[in-house]
Chain A
Amino acid sequence: MATETPPRFAPGDRVRVRAAFPPGHIRTPFFVRGREGRVEALAAIHPNPEGLAYGGDGTPRRPVYRVAFRQADLWEDYAGAPGDATVVDIFEHWLEPAEGGAP
């Protein structure tokens, strides 16, 4: 049995989404890859869809985080309120600590 690791990130942590572009079934949208956001919460611990999509059992299960990205950080010339954000559920293996951010 694959073991589960404790969540690596905590609410408030600054994280960067890995800028990886493998083929295959991926739940990390293109528009946030390489971008920096803030962990809002641990959303769940769930089986990995990248395995489930190919007949695997999705183990080890992974922490999934609610990560908020400021619209202004995602889109050039964003027209809207400065606080506007997109919140994306992201599996832990797609996240790294942002430079200067904890942990």
Chain B
Amino acid sequence: MSEHDDHTHDHKHDHGHDHDNGHAPHPFQPDIEDGPITEYMVLTRAIGELMVEKGVFAAEDLREKLEYMQSRKPALGARLIARAWTDPAFAARLERDAMAAAQELDIDVGVVEIRALPDRPGLHNVIVCTLCSCYPVMLLGNSPDWYKSREYRSRVVREPRAVLAEFGTEIPAETELRIHDSTAELRYFVIPERPAGTEGWSEERLADIVTRDCMIGTALPKPGAA
């Protein structure tokens, strides 16, 4: 799910005020919802408050976790890829151990192991989770809605070329496609090939053309997009 991802654990700045320590709990004040109030919104708030009242987690833990999750964005993955495009030794380390490579760039990716799937000339990778929505959330942020959709999950394993075409991505007939179904406890992201026309670009400029979909494999980086 997991976008699920995952057995997660609190990131390193979590102070872990798990138990009632005698101080009055700071009530967590969630933002006001825009739309009509649904039973699921109510259920969510109610469970959250009960967890805080019971000391399962503190309001502060929740606030910190929300902030941490907000900080997970495709730009993190794009930084790794731009570095790999400009530094072959880093590229090798990223392919061998993406968790350690992320640490080198001070990117906190949690504990669920994320692995890189490098594209090569004649080979293109795509990720999916047919059983739920597993995704490298800690590196790319939440997955898009379409990644979790019945249409993508059902079809990309059976007719990947047709699905990629719906994204405007045409894969040459002679290129081998590999669809990776994240069924277990590992999360994957794609390292696309550096496109022609980006010679001499800075890492920052390169990172700008590595979109979220490029790291899912449904798009290819395009120099014109920067």
Q: Please tell me if the beta carbons of B184 and A91 are within 8 angstroms of each other in the complex.
A: yes
Residue of A nearest to B174 (CB): A81
Which of A44, A75, A88 counts the most B-chain CB atoms under 10 A from its CB? A88
Judge if B170 is at the interface, Cβ distance under 8 Å.
no
In the complex, how many angstroms separate the beta carbon of A48 from the nearest chain B beta carbon? 10
The stretch among B12-20, B49-57, B135-143, B155-163 that forms the contact with chain A is: B155-163
Q: Which of A61-103 contact B (CB under 8 A)?
A: 64, 68, 71, 74-75, 78-81, 83-91
Q: Please tell me if the beta carbons of A84 and B176 are within 8 angstroms of each other in the complex.
A: yes
Q: Please tell me if the beta carbons of B178 and A85 are within 8 angstroms of each other in the complex.
A: yes
Q: Please tell me if the beta carbons of A90 and B183 are within 8 angstroms of each other in the complex.
A: yes
Q: Please tell me if the beta carbons of A46 and B176 are within 8 angstroms of each other in the complex.
A: no
Known: A49-B184, A83-B176, A86-B179. A27 touches B161 (CB 8 A): no
* Complex interface: chain A residues within 8 A of B178 (CB): 68, 84-87
Judge if B222 is at the interface, Cβ distance under 8 Å.
no
* Complex interface: chain A residues within 8 A of B113 (CB): 44
Q: CA–CA, A87 to B184, complex, Å?
A: 12
Interface size for A (C-beta < 8 A) is: 26
Interface size for B (C-beta < 8 A) is: 23
Judge if B107 is at the interface, Cβ distance under 8 Å.
no
In the complex, how many angstroms separate the beta carbon of B129 from the nearest chain A beta carbon? 10
Judge if B71 is at the interface, Cβ distance under 8 Å.
no
Q: CA–CA, A83 to B174, complex, Å?
A: 9
Residue of B131, B177, B179, B180 touching A81 (CB-CB under 8 A)? B177
* Complex interface: chain B residues within 8 A of A85 (CB): 176-179
Q: CA–CA, A29 to B181, complex, Å?
A: 9
Produce 1/0 per residue, A23-61, CB < 8 A to B: 000011101000000000001101001000000000000
* Complex interface: chain B residues within 8 A of A49 (CB): 184-185
In the complex, how many angstroms separate the beta carbon of A72 from the nearest chain B beta carbon? 12
Listed by A's residue number, 5 A-B pairs whose Cβ atoms lie within 8 Å are A29-B130, A29-B131, A43-B186, A80-B177, A89-B186
Q: Interface of A with B (CB < 8 Å)?
A: 27-29, 31, 43-44, 46, 49, 64, 68, 71, 74-75, 78-81, 83-91
Q: Interface of B with A (CB < 8 Å)?
A: 113, 130-131, 157-162, 173-186
